[in-house]
């Protein structure tokens, strides 16, 4: 920044008080004006558009260059041809089992480190496998719970039916306490374990035994709800 002192004589410039109003006025005149906000915004837009267009042109030029094979006029290509290279064949003495086309160029446009992309992909695959396993375990658990409820319901029906048919046919007590609903105690297994007796079978085994008992003794089908003349 320079101050125009052409209108002042040499003696005036030497005797000029730099704290005077005259010097401050000269500075104010020489100070450049800052562009207004709309002009600054317009300048930024122009710079961004130039950068964007240059980036697109660079990408297009790179794609066009990679799409074209190496020219015969290329120095490296001519040297390869002098050493016996034939277009369409691999390099080396054998001429087979190698790479025919050059290694493709992949431009890295993100800021991730080398190997980070494969790490993220592997991590996502593991998370997906874990989610699939959890979903499969949940479905299996729901099916197991549903099967257990169905077994308990059928077991209750079979005990009621067994007790009813045994009573009609003159039986005063069941073959085992868990054959009848009225004599089946909830703590039977714990009592049997404490008294060193053999524990009764589980619910699924009890149901199978009762179904076979009803079929063999009374020709009764629990699921059909009907009594037949024979097996």
Average pLDDT, the chain: 76
Q: Give 136-195 pLDDT, tens digit per residue.
A: 999 999 999 998 999 989 988 999 899 888 888 888 888 888 888 887 754 455 554 555
pLDDT digits (tens, 9 = 90+) for 89-104: 777 666 666 777 777 7
* Of 5-14, 150-159, 222-231, the least confident: 5-14
Burial of residue 97, with CB atoms counted within 10 A of its CB: 0-12 exposed, 13-18 middle, 19 or more buried: exposed
Q: What is the pTM of this model?
A: 0.43
Q: Given this model, what pLDDT does residue 226 score?
A: 81
Q: Write down the pLDDT at residue 60.
A: 81
Secondary structure class of 220 (helix, strand, coil): strand
Decide: 141 and 116 in contact? Cβ < 8 Å: no
Of 226, 228, 223, residue with least CA distance to 155: 223
231 pLDDT band (50/70/90 cuts)? low
User: Which pLDDT score is estimated for 44?
Assistant: 66
How far is 35 from 23, CA to CA, in rounded Å? 25
Q: What is the pLDDT of residue 136?
A: 92
Cα separation, 81 vs 96, in Å, equals 17
The enclosing H or E element of 14 equals: helix 10-14
Q: Which of 200, 161, 165 is closest to 181 using CA atoms?
A: 161
- Distance set, CA 183 to CA 104, 186, 201 (Å): 81, 10, 16
45-84 residue pLDDT tens: 666 555 556 667 777 887 787 777 777 788 888 888 888 7
**Residue 34 reports pLDDT greater than 80:** no
pLDDT: which is higher, 16 or 142: 142
Q: Which residue has the tokens 């317009």?
A: 42
Cross-strand pairs, 17 = none
Instruction: Specify the pairing of strand 226-227 against strand 220-221.
Output: antiparallel
Cα 31 → chain centroid = 60
Phi and psi at residue 70, in whole multiples of 5°? Answer: -65, 135
Contact 177, 184 (CB under 8 A): yes
Other beta carbons less than 10 A from residue 207's beta carbon: 22
Q: 193-202 pLDDT, tens per residue? A: 555 556 667 8
């Amino acid at each position: 920044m320079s101050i125009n002192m052409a209108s002042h004589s040499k003696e005036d410039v030497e005797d000029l008080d730099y704290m005077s109003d005259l010097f401050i006025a000269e500075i104010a005149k020489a100070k450049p004006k800052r562009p207004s906000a709309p002009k600054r915004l317009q300048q930024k837009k122009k710079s961004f558009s130039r950068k964007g267009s240059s980036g697109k042109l660079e990408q297009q030029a790179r794609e066009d260059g990679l799409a074209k094979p190496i020219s015969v006029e290329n120095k490296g290509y001519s040297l390869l041809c002098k050493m016996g290279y034939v277009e369409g064949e691999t390099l080396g003495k054998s001429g087979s089992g190698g790479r025919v086309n050059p290694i493709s160029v992949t431009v890295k446009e993100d800021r991730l480190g080398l190997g980070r992309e494969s790490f993220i992909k592997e991590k996502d695959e593991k998370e997906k496998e874990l989610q699939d396993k959890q979903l499969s375990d949940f479905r299996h658990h729901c099916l197991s719970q549903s099967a257990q409820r169905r077994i308990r319901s059928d077991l209750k029906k079979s005990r009621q039916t067994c007790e009813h048919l045994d009573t009609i046919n003159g039986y005063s007590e069941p073959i085992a306490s868990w054959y009848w609903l009225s004599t089946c105690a909830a703590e039977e297994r714990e009592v049997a374990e404490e008294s060193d007796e053999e524990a009764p079978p589980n619910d699924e085994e009890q149901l199978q035994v009762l179904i076979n008992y009803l079929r063999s003794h009374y020709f009764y089908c629990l699921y059909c709800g009907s009594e037949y003349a024979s097996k």
